Amino acid sequence: MGDATPFWALDPGTTHLNHGSFGACPWPVLDEQLRLRRELESNPTRWFEVTYPSAVRAAREDLARFVGSDPAAVAFATNTTQAVNLAVRAVVARMAPGDEILVTSHAYPACRYAVDAITAAAGVVVRVVDVPGVLDGPAELAGIVLGAVGPRTRAVLVDHVESGTGVVLPVGEIVAALEPDVVVIVDGAHAPGMVDLDLDVLDASFYAGNLHKWVCAPKGAAFVRVAAGWREEVVPLTISHGWGDERSADGGRFHALFDWPGTADPTAWLSVPVAIREIGAAHPDGWDGVRATNRSLVLAAQELMCDELGSTPPVPASMVGSLAVVPLTGRAGSATGQELTAHARSRGFEAKFVVPDGRVGLRLSAHLYNTIDDYARCAEVLSEF
């Protein structure tokens, strides 16, 4: 673990190499959420009716600045899967039987299931474009996705950062080539805090992002950014008081719908500004430094582990953010993810094993609590296997 360990709530007896799955929340952010919960419970009626509307607006404005968006386009969500679901529902409602929605073979399984379930009743065709696990660069990947778009393609669901491979996609090029004729839904689950975002410039129809991962907000903090052409018709998955009661501090129906999903605990959302501030302050160069440090570490870790295990990085460094895959060889390369996970845990490691394109790999994560020694020790543990 790194020098910043006391800042984190992580168990110091475990080496954590799987930040990408569920994130990790530092103590100052957890303290802020606890403060908010105590304030809420001291007078729930007053808090929800008086305090909450302005508090959620302020949190949304801080989030919008962080991701480069007009606050009017951004709404909080519980997670990216939820946000992708509502985006797919809105898009499919505009489609006719025989129209196509394009997904890649590396789409996050939960979001792919949502596409399959929502399109089935509408007679919409799901086309899957095969993306290889080994790529020469971003231009090759953009060409594969854009080359699969056909005359009946009405929408494309594309990851910003692939969950299984860690590959950063050239979403700017893809969105610019397709919008507005073909709707683009970007699954940006891993992107906030990993890559620098300017969502107003990107201006995809829908962009969904998690904040519990690289931003290190509490679980339950995510968002959806909705382009102007969709804002009047998109609705959250849960219809509640906002349908007919515009109590949002913004006074608009879009935010009223999303801000009031029935009685819930919104303290994860309201803790986001503190997470943005605290993680940014953990590096002398702010968020630019955080992103650069994490990226440099994961690339160094990938090089070290590939050398130790006799494998080759599947994509160039230009396609790596804070996640990278090390293909496994030998006995480890023929094991199951469950076997490898159990072995790693028995040696005090939490790690993520993936099987993109049938090849077993270790998906490395890097955040500020990691050091290069963590990965060196992990290489030894895998060599034992």
Q: What is the pTM assigned to this prediction?
A: 0.95
Of 224, 258, 277, the residue that ends a domain is 277
Does residue 16 sit in the same domain as residue 65?
A: no
Q: Grade residue 2 by pLDDT with cuts at 50, 70 and 90.
A: very low
Across the range 364-381, mean pLDDT stands at 96
Same domain, 64 and 191: yes
Report the CATH number that the domain containing residue 153 is assigned in CATH.
3.40.640.10
Average pLDDT, the chain: 94
- pLDDT per residue as tens digits for the range 91-118: 999 999 999 999 999 999 999 999 999 9
Same domain as 319, residue 252 = no
Identify the weakest region by mean pLDDT among 208-212, 310-314, 381-385. Answer: 381-385
What was the pLDDT predicted at 145?
Answer: 96
Name the pLDDT band for 358 (thresholds 50, 70, 90).
confident
* 196 in the same domain as 52: yes
In this structure, the answer to whether residues 346 and 334 fall within a common structural domain is yes
On whether both 373 and 340 belong to a single domain, the answer is yes
One domain, residues 112 and 244: yes
225/95 same-domain check: yes
Q: Are residues 229 and 298 located together in one domain of the fold?
A: no
For residues 20 and 36, state if they share a domain: no
Last residue of a domain, one of 227, 244, 277: 277
Final residue before a domain boundary, out of 224, 257, 277: 277
pLDDT the model gives residue 1: 39
Number of folded domains in the chain? 2
Q: Which amino acid is at 243?
A: W
Average pLDDT rounded to a whole number, residues 255-274: 94
CATH of the domain at 343: 3.90.1150.10
Look up the domain containing 246 and give its range: 30-277
Q: ∠278-284-286 over CA atoms, to 5°?
A: 55
* Average pLDDT value for residue range 147-167: 96
| Same domain, residue pair 187 and 254 | yes
Q: Is the pLDDT of residue 33 over 80?
A: yes
Per-residue pLDDT reduced to its tens digit, 319-349: 999 999 999 988 877 888 899 999 999 999 9
pLDDT at 26 over 50: yes
Average the pLDDT over each of 74-88, 242-256, 267-281 and give the range with the smallest value. 242-256
Q: State residue 247's pLDDT score.
A: 58
Distance CA 256, CA 261 (A): 9
Give yes or no: residues 107 and 191 share one domain. yes
pLDDT digits (tens, 9 = 90+) for 202-249: 999 999 999 999 999 999 999 999 999 999 889 999 988 888 865 554
